[in-house]
Amino acid sequence: MNKIIGYVLLTSCFLTLNPNTSLSQQSKSGQMKHGSSDLNMLDRKIIQWQKDLNIPNVAIGIIENNKLIKSKVYGSLNNGAPAPKNMIFEVASLTKVVFSTMVLQLVQDGKWDLDEPLANYYIDPEVASNPYSKVLSTRHVLSQQSGFDNWRWMDLTGKLTFNFEPGTKFNYSGEGMEYLKSAIEKKFNRSLAQLSDSILFKPLQLKDTHHAWDGKTNFDRHSRMYDADGKEITRTDYSIRASAAAGLTTTIDDLSKFAIAVIKGDLISKKLSREMIKTQAVISPNLQQGLGWRIINGLPNHEYALQHAGNDQGVAAIMVLLPKSKRGIIVLTNADNGLMMCNNVVRAAFPEGTQIIHKAYKSTKLNEIPPTIKLPDSILKTYVGKYKREDGVDVSVTLTNSGLVLRMAGIPLLNLLPQTEGKFFLMDLDPTVFFTKNKDGSINSVSIKDGENVIKCLKTAG
């Protein structure tokens, strides 16, 4: 659990399966209108995408004019019964915006300070000797400028390390969120689960939303997890440790209540909301980082979007909110190919959906594709084989009619497009994939580079 590469890589769509045009119509005022025929057409598309992508369950919530106009769970339970409306999904990194909102509520109430050093309450022993630990603040963490890798296991030492001075540049980090969680728990002498229940979940009546789960309560409603082939990923223990970065369990109706409260501005003041959506860091020319949320500017009708997604093994989710026009969409899925579904639904549901997805995951202009080169099969075959990620997760590279395909648990299949003999790019993503060789020319590893985050996978078999 929670062993993810980084936001941009693990919250992205690598394949679009005929999303066609948007189903909605947008008036001059910016309001989106869905007719019953539009929503029925979306139903048919989702059911087809489920079959194409091997996704047993999908939940969607569509918000118009601050109201939930559609809430539905598709698919069946393991026993063949229809999936319940209150099916429980894990949402991976969507947890971060829920946690961030709770933190901003503490700031709103004067109980927490965005710029106070976290060292006043907590210092991780692994960075205690680094002077940066004395200046790290909540703002640095919520704006993804903590200086940490996504996870400490990604560092060569396997320990928590500052890679740069906090507040100087963007680098997505789950460790930062966990660090902030520890500081808050120390100050208030309460667990994250207790704090979130009292501050956020109970006031919004989110009865099925929890940071921690025993893996047994309401298990009959749990969505389970499935790989890219639709095979169930079984666990011996389904319990979840409370985390600020991932692992939140919830339902589509609960998360829709949260989304509506964010759109309406019910949770924090207008002044703090302006701070939340202000550019705190630049991710790419198309995407900015606010406090907790990704911010997508430059949409039609002077609209902007709050966006975040999540991906883990057998889990994928996305939330896109358009506060000016009081719209939003949430998509939850339970399979490795789920983010293809998430992005397809956003494209289909919003007039500006294609722009939103492109801006969220690419730094190029819309539909701008880097040049590719042609590599002979004799070279491509040298990359084929089994690899192992640094945290023990299996990775494989195969050769298909369309070229090299990289497969890793928890993400959709990656089609690798050659830019040079050893460097490949992804059609819908900025991260690059490259192979390294031994002195004799044999391949010894494949690495995925996403900003400052690099995942190196050692080759274990040809």
Q: What is the pLDDT of residues 80-122, one digit of tens each?
A: 899 999 999 999 999 999 999 999 999 999 999 999 999 999 9
Q: Are residues 356 and 382 in the same domain?
A: no
% of residues, the chain, pLDDT over 70:
92
What is the C-alpha to C-alpha distance for residues 343 and 411, in angstroms, rounded to an integer? 14
The 10 Å Cβ neighbour count of residue 123 is: 20
Q: Are residues 13 and 97 in the same domain?
A: yes
The structural domain count of the chain equals 2
Q: Are residues 268 and 398 in the same domain?
A: no
Q: Are residues 306 and 382 in the same domain?
A: no
Q: Residue 145 domain-assigned? A: no
Q: Are residues 347 and 423 in the same domain?
A: no
**What DSSP state is assigned to residue 134?**
G
> For the domain that residue 391 is a member of, what is the CATH number?
2.40.128.50
- Mean pLDDT (whole number) for 295-308: 96
Q: Which of 361, 391, 412 is the last residue of a domain?
A: 361
Say what the pLDDT of residue 413 is: 80
Q: Residue 119 domain-assigned? A: no
The pLDDT confidence band at residue 450, using thresholds 50, 70 and 90, is confident
- Residue type at position 264: K
- Mean pLDDT (whole number) for 377-399: 94
What is the C-alpha to C-alpha distance for residues 358 and 349, in angstroms, rounded to an integer? 15
**What DSSP state is assigned to residue 80?**
S
Q: Residue 148 domain-assigned? A: no
Q: Residue 133 domain-assigned? A: no
The pLDDT confidence band at residue 235, using thresholds 50, 70 and 90, is very high
What is the C-alpha to C-alpha distance for residues 121 and 139, in angstroms, rounded to an integer? 15
What is the C-alpha to C-alpha distance for residues 100 and 126, in angstroms, rounded to an integer? 24
Mean pLDDT estimate for the chain: 91
Q: What is the pLDDT of residues 204-216, one digit of tens each?
A: 999 999 999 999 9
Q: Are residues 217 and 335 in the same domain?
A: yes
For the chain, the C-alpha Rg in angstroms (whole number) is: 21
Q: What is the pLDDT of residues 397-413, one digit of tens each?
A: 999 888 999 998 877 78
Higher pLDDT, 106 or 454: 106
- Mean pLDDT (whole number) for 65-77: 96
Region of residue 29 (phi > 0: left; psi between -120 and 50: alpha; otherwise: beta) = alpha
Q: Are residues 274 and 393 in the same domain?
A: no
Q: Are residues 299 and 411 in the same domain?
A: no
Q: Are residues 288 and 427 in the same domain?
A: no
User: Dihedral sign, CA of 148, 123, 242, 456?
Assistant: positive
Q: Residue 414 domain-assigned? A: yes
> Measured in whole angstroms, how far is the alpha carbon of residue 200 from the centre of its chain?
21
Q: Are residues 206 and 251 in the same domain?
A: yes
What is the C-alpha to C-alpha distance for residues 321 and 398, in angstroms, rounded to an integer? 38
> What's the whole-model pTM score?
0.85
Q: Which residues form the domain of 315?
A: 7-101+190-361
Q: What is the pLDDT of residues 30-49, one digit of tens each?
A: 455 666 678 889 999 999 99
Q: Which of 302, 329, 361 is the last residue of a domain?
A: 361
Q: Are residues 431 and 400 in the same domain?
A: yes
pLDDT at position 1 over 50: no
Q: Residue 430 domain-assigned? A: yes
Q: Are residues 273 and 422 in the same domain?
A: no
Closest CA to 295 of 320, 264, 272, 314: 320
Q: Which of 331, 361, 391 is the last residue of a domain?
A: 361
- Mean pLDDT (whole number) for 287-292: 98
E strand or H helix at 174: helix 174-188
Q: Residue 204 domain-assigned? A: yes
**What DSSP state is assigned to residue 240?**
B
CA distances for 239 relative to 77, 133, 165, 212, 248, angstroms: 19, 32, 36, 8, 11
- Mean pLDDT (whole number) for 317-333: 98
Say what the pLDDT of residue 35 is: 62
- Mean pLDDT (whole number) for 202-228: 96
Q: Residue 397 domain-assigned? A: yes
> For the domain that residue 24 is a member of, what is the CATH number?
3.40.710.10
